Structure formats: structure tokens, C-alpha cells
Amino acid sequence: MSSLKGAASAPFDPIYGAFTSPLSKNDGRLKIILVILWAILISALHGLIAAFGAFAGSLILITLSRWPLKNLIKRLYAVNFFMAFMWLMIPFSFSTPGEVIARLGPLAVTLEGVKLASLITLKANAIVISIIALLGTTPLHHLAAASREMHIPEKLVGVFLLAVRYFQVMHQEYLRLRRAMRARGFKFNLSSNALRGAANLVGSLVVRSFDRAERVHKAMLSRGYTGMVHVRSAFYLKPIDLVLALIILALAGLVGGLEWRL
């Protein structure tokens, strides 16, 4: 068995999550299990204090992962965009009746409403942050290998692996084609010419990916491919895995304590 040493020496790459993080060395299987447990715990919370604790716990995890702050904010922005819609509804008496604490024109803001909206916001952010911290630091192909070890069917994992590998190539091809179009004065708008151009772009991408698929298949045949994409298993539990598990279990214990005792 090989270690994961050097696996994350690639530069930060948010698509693949291949970036050097203290958490990238942890076992992929363990991280999947831990993040599931942590998310289940958080979704079961009703108390605002416990939810706040969970949020703080996720912040600790993201700090451990040393995820770039800028990128984190960009990702949270997307989540909280949807939260903003919720804040337009839930705090008001028409959706959450209760003790009125303020009035905005004809609308009454209730204490229960504000609490509920805060609870939902905290829980959603806590879950997303922990997923970024744990799964974002696991390169996708390690996730694939982990899912294989967790007995997900071979074919599915193989397809997933090739998809991961060629998504990047397709994306580069798309960028190249677009650059080539731009170089000849292409600008996207709703004119029939621009729409035709966009259709050609999509068409070329489809044709190219077929060509590519055929060449990759030939390359696989050349090396004796018979239907299975082997990946060297790169997993075994290490002391740092125990440390991570203990940290998360301790955090979960604290959050559980806040929820069920306070």
C-alpha cells in the first residue's frame, strides 16, 4: 500500500479539491463518514446555542483545513444568497407567529421568527463549512477510491473516475474554443449570428468529446483494457485519522451537550 505523501502537491484547485491541507492526508473513507455524522447531528439541532456551537465547531474544522478565506467566502455567498430569501419570509408574524419585537410598516417581526431564521442560517452554514473542510480537502479521485472501498459498484466508480479526469480536459477545450472565437471578434448576445456561434461551440465540444472518447478507448485497448479501471488503494488509518476523528467526536459531544442539557 502506498501513502498519500505528495498527493496534494498540486496547486490549489477548487474543482478537484487537490490542495495542500493538513486534512488532505486523512483517510477519505473516514472523512466521508465523519462529515455524514456531523451533518446528521447538526440537522437534528433545535437550540440556537447548540446551533451556534456547531457553527463554531465547523469554523474550527475549516481553520484546521487552512482553506483559503477568499474562496470560502465566495462559496458561502452562494449559500447565503438563498438564506436571504428565507429572511424575507420567516421572521415575520405572517409565517411565524409569536412575541412581536419590532414593526416594519405593516409587518410585525416576531422573536420566534428571528430565532428560527437564525437557527436555519447557522445550521446551513455549519454543514456547508464542514463539507468544504472535510470533503473539499479530499481530491475527487480519493473520494472515488473511498467509494469503491465502501462497496459502490465498480462500473460506477470507473465512470466517475474518467468523468473527473476528462471534465478538466473538456473545460480546457471549451476555453480554447471560446478564446479562438473571441479572437475572431465573437461576442455573445441574442443576435442570430451569436446564437449560431454558440450552437457551433456546443456542437464542436460534443464532436470533440466523441473523438476524444474514441482516442482514450484506443489508448486503453493498447494497454490491454478489459473492462476494469484499477486504482491503487491508497487508504489505511493513520494516527492523524484518529486525531481528526477525536476532534470531531469531541466537538459533536460539546454540541450535543449544549442541545440536550442546556
Partner 1 sequence: MAALIDITNLSFSYDPHRPIFESLDFVFHEGQKLGLVGKNGAGKSTLLQLIMGLIKSSSGAIEIFGQRRSTEAQFREARLQIGFVFQDANDQLFCPTVGDDIAFGPLNMGLSREEADKIVDETLALIGMESFKDRASYSLSDGEKKIVAIGTALAMRPKLLILDEPTTCLDEDACDRIAQVLLDCGLPYLIAAHDLSFLDRVAPDRARLIGGHIIYEPLASRPDRNHDRLRVVGKD
Cell (9 digits) for 162: 474518467
Pick 232 or 261: Cβ nearer partner 1: 232
Which CB, 86 or 164, lies closer to partner 1? 164
Assigned C-alpha cell, 229? 479501471
Q: Is 16 in the site for partner 1 (CB under 8 A)?
A: yes
Strands (DSSP E) contained in 91-250 are 100-104, 107-110
Query: Per rule CB under 8 A, is residue 10 in the interface with partner 1?
Result: yes
Among 56, 161, 177, 254, the residue binding partner 1 under the rule CB under 8 A is 161
Binding range to partner 1, per CB under 8 A, among 25-33, 85-93, 112-120, 156-164: 156-164
Site for partner 1 in 101-140 (CB under 8 A): 139
Please pick, from the candidates 73, 100, 221, 250, the single residue that binds partner 1 as defined by CB under 8 A: 221
List of residues 6+ apart from 64 with CB closer than 8 A: 22, 23, 133, 247
For residue 177, count other CB atoms closer than 10 A to its CB. 16
CB 248, CB 130: distance < 8 Å: no
The whole-angstrom separation of Cα 29 and Cα 172 is 30
**Exactly one of 215, 249, 250, 253 binds partner 1 (CB under 8 A); which one?**
215
Smaller CB distance to partner 1: residue 2 or 200? 2
Of the ranges 44-52, 119-127, 141-149, 189-197, which one interacts with partner 1 (CB under 8 A)?
141-149
156 part of the interface to partner 1, by CB under 8 A? no
Give the number of other Cβ atoms within 10 Å of residue 30's Cβ.
Answer: 21
Could you tell me which stretch among 50-58, 66-74, 221-229, 240-248 binds partner 1 (CB under 8 A)? Answer: 221-229
87 binds partner 1 (CB under 8 A): no
4 binds partner 1 (CB under 8 A): yes
DSSP string, 48-97: HHHHHHHHHHHHHHHHHHT--HHHHHHHHHHHHHHHHHHHTTTTBTTTS-
The yes or no reply on residue 141 touching partner 1 (CB under 8 A) is yes
Sole binder of partner 1 in the list 46, 207, 218, 236 (CB under 8 A): 218
- At 76, the amino acid letter reads L
144 Cβ neighbours under 8 A, 6+ residues apart: 157, 160, 161, 164, 231
Give 55's Cβ-side CA count (13 Å radius). 15
> Does 224 sit near partner 1 (CB under 8 A)?
yes
Among 33, 198, 220, 247, binds partner 1 (CB under 8 A): 220
Residues found near partner 1 in the complex (CB under 8 A)? 2, 4-7, 9-11, 13, 16, 18, 139, 141, 144-145, 161-162, 164-166, 168-169, 212, 215-216, 218-226, 229-234
